[in-house]
Amino acid sequence: MKTHRIAVIGAGPSALFLVAALLERATDPVSIDVIDRLPAPYGLVRYGVAPDHANIKAIITTFQKVFERENVRFLGNVEFGRDLTLADVQRHYDAVCYANGASKDRHLGVPGEELEGSISATEFVMWYSGHPDAALGTDIHQRIAAIVPSLRTVAVVGAGNVAVDVTRILAKSVAELRTTDIPEYVLDALSQSQVRDIHVIARRGPAQAKFTTAELRELGEIPNVDVVVDANELVLDDASVASIASSAIAKRNMDVLGEFSTRPRTDAARRIHLRFFLSPLEIVGEGHVSGMRLQKNVLDEAFNAVPIDVTTHLETELVLRSVGYRGVALDGVVFDERRGVIPSELGRVLDANGRALSGQYAGGCINRGPTGVIGTNKGDAVETAKSMIADLPALASCANPEPAAVDALLRDRGARPIDWQGWLEIDRREIEEGAKSGRARVKLTNLEQYLERV
Ligand code: NAP
């Protein structure tokens, strides 16, 4: 029976749930290469899930099993479009699935966004997660490390779980964070922070906030941190009252926010202010951020934020824009610029005329958009895997299915792939390094460090 060669682009949760679904469901033999531009696997779980959420990162144990199968290879440090083009992939694989996530930040579209001190939450998350693109010496590290020591007030724009994550990391003491895998140079920078007030700014009301209740509740459990909520901002219009009756999350969020609003202020070292019905009009400052002009909103009948003629000024040295992610186009692959996704139906990539492109599939956030939690990718993965398995027998065979031919091509291109054994060696060293300071691991952060260890 023919072995189908499959390339999966990305090694994060969308990719690995997909590979697991293919392994579980495929009736014909398959041989899968998981290709990622980063030198380490696990994508968002390693570089997006907050470092103090070790319970969510535990999914890595399940993902590891995927790579222990002899018909699955990891090709880390291989960039699609640079080291391996779409034409190469089509020559060496019968099918490809794009599962490269949604890694780009969305913009606010207000003046002053380019000022120093206006940073996307995406960059901030990469920084404290030890992402190679934000490692010591990179532009992202320098921009953030330069600003942290002068911090007194921070404005986080957006009311999703990423906004809550960056707020929690800024609010926690370095002593608490030291138990996580946050790199030492990030802890050094954070230890200089004088942050007193963190304002989380939502353009709509508390009933429309996107964060989930467990994450919200956690903000109220940080030692030596007050959470401040103005009870007046929790007063809902009739339509919002009706809407929370059918949303368990919104109802629970309102309960938690209500409890926060009754808490007396203490002399805690830091305060988190959860603010509603405010949109940024302008980020202001000479060269770097010194404040933000905000406009008050009300809701229309469809729960959209509608500005009213009331503005307010917030002094702040850092604006963290946390207004969602979007997908990045891959070289030569169809892409819907407006939605930031690869257009598809049941995981089959569609051309401009809505016809399925033979042998091309998409899964995870690049397929559905940047919504849901890590586990949401599992359902998506099963749907895409089912389409792939149904199509595989009828797909044209690629010209050169030998795995060794891909390795030779990558060598010719000057790429330096990190395979699964290479990663296991790195993983072992990271855990060893962590043990020296009582931590679960200390991540390697720059590419040279990775390459010298394989
Ligand atoms: P998100 O949940 O979509 O939240 C984005 C926030 O930005 C919303 O409050 C949105 O308000 C606001 N926003 C968008 N455009 C804006 C603008 N121009 N001005 C002001 N505010 C604006 O996105 P996210 O926080 O980046 O999270 C992405 C996904 O990852 C979510 O599904 C999230 O649950 C998930 N995640 C989960 C965890 C976890 O489980 N612990 C952790 C992190 C992320 P509107 O509602 O008004 O549009």
- 107 CA to centre of ligand 1 in angstroms: 12
- 163 CA to centre of ligand 1 in angstroms: 7
Task: Look at residue 310 in the predicted model and tell me its pLDDT.
Answer: 96
CA angle at 158 for the pair 110 and 137, rounded to the nearest 5°: 80
Flag whether pLDDT at 205 surpasses 80. Answer: yes
Alpha-carbon span 399 to 388, nearest angstrom: 19
Of these ranges, 304-308, 436-440, 442-446, the one predicted with the greatest mean pLDDT is 304-308
Task: Look at residue 199 in the predicted model and tell me its pLDDT.
Answer: 98
Alpha-carbon span 146 to 165, nearest angstrom: 21
Give nearest CA residue, ligand 1 atom 26.
Answer: 324
Flag whether pLDDT at 64 surpasses 90. Answer: yes
φ/ψ (deg, to 5) at 402: -70, 125
Task: Look at residue 260 in the predicted model and tell me its pLDDT.
Answer: 98
Which atom of ligand 1 is nearest to 371's Cα?
32
- Best residue among 52, 106, 201, 203 to mutate for probing ligand 1's pocket (most ligand atoms within 8 Å of CB) is 203
* Mean of the per-residue pLDDT values of the chain: 95
Per-residue tokens: 337: 């610029």
| Contact 80 CB / ligand 1 (< 6 Å) | no
- 261 CA to centre of ligand 1 in angstroms: 23
φ/ψ (deg, to 5) at 25: -105, -25
- 210 CA to centre of ligand 1 in angstroms: 6
Chain-centre distance for alpha carbon 236: 31
Flag whether pLDDT at 453 surpasses 80. Answer: no
Task: Look at residue 447 in the predicted model and tell me its pLDDT.
Answer: 81
Flag whether pLDDT at 454 surpasses 80. Answer: no
Locate tokens 């007193």: which residue? 196
Contact 66, 16 (CB under 8 A): yes
Task: Look at residue 105 in the predicted model and tell me its pLDDT.
Answer: 87
Determine the average pLDDT of the residues in 151-171: 98
Helix (H) or strand (E) holding 390: helix 376-391
Locate tokens 């696990």: which residue? 42
| Contact 326 CB / ligand 1 (< 6 Å) | no
- 50 CA to centre of ligand 1 in angstroms: 15
| Contact 203 CB / ligand 1 (< 6 Å) | yes
| Contact 48 CB / ligand 1 (< 6 Å) | no
Task: Look at residue 190 in the predicted model and tell me its pLDDT.
Answer: 97
Flag whether pLDDT at 103 surpasses 90. Answer: no
Chain-centre distance for alpha carbon 323: 12
| Contact 105 CB / ligand 1 (< 6 Å) | no
Determine the average pLDDT of the residues in 376-403: 95
pLDDT band at 108 (very low <50, low <70, confident <90, very high): very high
Flag whether pLDDT at 312 surpasses 90. Answer: yes
- 21 CA to centre of ligand 1 in angstroms: 28
| Contact 325 CB / ligand 1 (< 6 Å) | yes
Task: Look at residue 451 in the predicted model and tell me its pLDDT.
Answer: 84
- 204 CA to centre of ligand 1 in angstroms: 12
| Contact 162 CB / ligand 1 (< 6 Å) | yes
- 409 CA to centre of ligand 1 in angstroms: 40
Flag whether pLDDT at 46 surpasses 80. Answer: yes
pLDDT band at 452 (very low <50, low <70, confident <90, very high): confident
Contact 17, 378 (CB under 8 A): yes
| Contact 370 CB / ligand 1 (< 6 Å) | yes
pLDDT over 70, % of the chain: 100
